[in-house]
Amino acid sequence: MVTVIGNLKGGSGKSTVTFNLALWLVQAGKTVLAYDLDLQRTLSDVVQVRQEEGYEPPLTVYTDLNLPKHFQYEAVMDVGTGNMALMKRALSLADRVVVPVVPSQADIWSTQRFLYFIASEVRGKPPEISMFINRADTHSSIRESEQAYQALTTLPGVKVLDIRLHQRVVYRRSFSEGLAVFELEPSGKATKEFEKLAKLLYSSSG
Ligand SMILES: Nc1ncnc2c1ncn2[C@@H]1O[C@H](COP(=O)(O)OP(=O)(O)OP(=O)(O)O)[C@@H](O)[C@H]1O
Ligand SMILES: [Mg+2]
């Protein structure tokens, strides 16, 4: 299956989710192809940190969009707006697009634009689109994430996942240390929520 992790909006967590998801799939025994299709090369940089530190299992990142033909794999692709032609190609190959959304009005607007973009640019079978709230506030008194979640549920043709990744320092450490959140804090809150997300995304793929 080809999963693109995308959004037009910067800083929504695309690279964080791609990196953690790729490692989660590896430890689940899948053959993983991780693609860094963003000119910023954040995914490549974090994987380089992991490699320099010698952490196992290693992860290979591809920056050319070529898909192999003769074996089963899980492809995860981190896309950016720096190369729109490449983003369009990735979206056209995608079985689904996973969209992390930060709970703010600007992010909701931008996410809506991303949906229009997919609808107008993807030729052939449209990918399934799954969204979820990332960087939700950990204070329950702040209602922004709930409001953003509700706003997403009004968007047509979209699956809104009933899981939130909260704003947690360990997601930032994940980048600086080259480790997945479940490697850094195996019994932490981030690990619980991240694993729930990963299982929701991959529950039906054997
Ligand atoms: N749930 C989270 N909690 C705390 N920090 C987070 C979370 N998700 C992402 N971050 C941090 O937010 C910043 C942006 O995340 P990331 O780079 O993954 O987003 P992106 O969508 O790939 O950004 P860009 O559009 O620049 O490629 C990073 O510093 C990352 O560590
Ligand atoms: Mg990124």
* Cis, bond preceding 57 (omega within 30 deg of 0): yes
Q: Cβ neighbours of residue 43 under 8 Å, at least 6 residues apart?
A: 15, 18, 19, 34, 36, 61, 78
Total domains in the chain come to: 1
Q: Is residue 150 part of a domain?
A: yes
Dump the DSSP string for 135-161.
Answer: EE-S-TT--HHHHHHHHHHTSTT-EEE
Rounded average pLDDT per 10-residue block, the chain, 206 residues: 97 98 97 97 98 97 94 96 95 97 96 96 92 92 88 96 97 98 98 98 75
pLDDT at res. 205: 53
Residue 143 is encoded by which pair of tokens? 């209602």
> Is residue 78, in this structure, part of any structural domain at all?
yes
The environment of the single-atom ion ligand 2, i.e. residues with CB closer than 5 A, is: 14-15, 42
Query: What is the structure's pLDDT at 187?
Result: 98
Residue 130 lies in a domain: yes
C-alpha of residue 80 to centroid of ligand 2, in Å: 7
Extract the tokens encoding 2.
Answer: 């080809």
pLDDT at position 35 is: 98
CATH code of the domain covering residue 91: 3.40.50.300
85 found inside a domain? yes
Output the pLDDT for position 206: 45
Which residues, listed in sequence order, are joined to residue 128 by a DSSP beta bridge? 96
172 lines ligand 1 (CB under 6 A): yes
Question: Which residues, listed in sequence order, are joined to residue 160 by a DSSP beta bridge?
Answer: 131
Q: Confirm or reject: Cβ of 42 under 6 Å from ligand 1.
A: yes
13 CB less than 6 Å from ligand 1? yes
Range of the domain at 14: 2-201
**Is 206 part of a structural domain of the chain?**
no
pLDDT of residue 70: 84
